[in-house]
Amino acid sequence: MKRYCTKCKKDFEFNIKSMKDLDNLYCPKCGGKIDRESRHPTDPSIARNEETLGRVMMHLTQFAYMFYLIMATIGIIGFGFKIYTLVYSTTFICLFVFIIQIIYRFETFPTGKFLLPLGALMGFIIFKTLSGICVGILFVFLIRHIIRDIFLGLVWKLIQSSQE
């Protein structure tokens, strides 16, 4: 285990066999006591870069979480205003991303394999058009997201209430 001597300004490797050994660390060069949590100081710019990277990842994760909701909402609004290219393109994008997730085994909606064709069938039965099929698929994505948000919201409230 590496520890840092503040007097010598160097890292030293120590063999630690038990937790008690951490309280008895002495520098091999100067003989000074080394704190059990001493580590080599890092450059502040590294910490800033790590924080920036963390924020970018947070925003990407938030977008990924909202992706299907946003796309389904845009597509359904496009259907309402009879902008069918918008309906087709949002459906294609959602299905493309969904298939990519299945291929790479990163699917977050495994029941979608069954519910999406069912939604497409319902859309065709109700509207009897290609855009109806697409809006049926988009409704499945929208309803799935709403149910997931309600379920996760209830879990979050349960966790918060158990902590109080």
Is the predicted pLDDT of residue 113 greater than 90, yes or no? Answer: yes
pLDDT band at 61 (very low <50, low <70, confident <90, very high): confident
Contact status, residue 25 vs residue 5, Cβ threshold 8 Å: no
Looking at the structure, do residues 26 and 107 belong to the same domain, yes or no? no
Tokens read off for 124: 């065709």
Residue 52 lies in a domain: no
Looking at the structure, do residues 115 and 34 belong to the same domain, yes or no? no
Instruction: Look at 151 and 79; give whichever has higher pLDDT.
Output: 79
Model confidence, pTM: 0.65
Q: How far apart are CA 108 and CA 64, in angstroms?
A: 11
Residue 49 lies in a domain: no
The single-letter code of the amino acid at 52 is T
pLDDT score for 31: 83
**What is the residue whose two structure tokens read 């997730």?**
101
Q: Please give the mean pLDDT across all residues of the chain.
A: 88
Between the alpha carbon of residue 30 and those of residues 1, 16, 26, 62, the distances in Å are 19, 20, 8, 51
Residue 6 lies in a domain: yes
pLDDT score for 43: 62
Q: Considering only 19-23, 62-66, 110-114, 150-154, which range has the smallest mean pLDDT?
A: 19-23
Looking at the structure, do residues 1 and 66 belong to the same domain, yes or no? no
* Angle formed at CA 8 by CA 6 and CA 14, multiple of 5 degrees: 80
Between the alpha carbon of residue 66 and those of residues 72, 99, 140, 144, 156, the distances in Å are 10, 17, 14, 12, 18
Pick the most confident of 12-21, 62-71, 137-146, 150-159: 137-146
Looking at the structure, do residues 89 and 157 belong to the same domain, yes or no? yes
pLDDT score for 79: 97
Mean pLDDT of 123-152: 94
Mean pLDDT of 47-70: 86
Length of the chain (residues): 164
Residue 50 lies in a domain: no
Question: What are 1-51's pLDDT values in tens digits?
Answer: 788 888 888 887 878 777 777 777 888 888 888 777 777 766 666 667 888
Q: How far apart are CA 164 and CA 155, in angstroms?
A: 15
Looking at the structure, do residues 37 and 64 belong to the same domain, yes or no? no
Percent of the chain surpassing pLDDT 70:
96
pLDDT score for 46: 65
The boundaries of the domain holding residue 4 are: 1-41
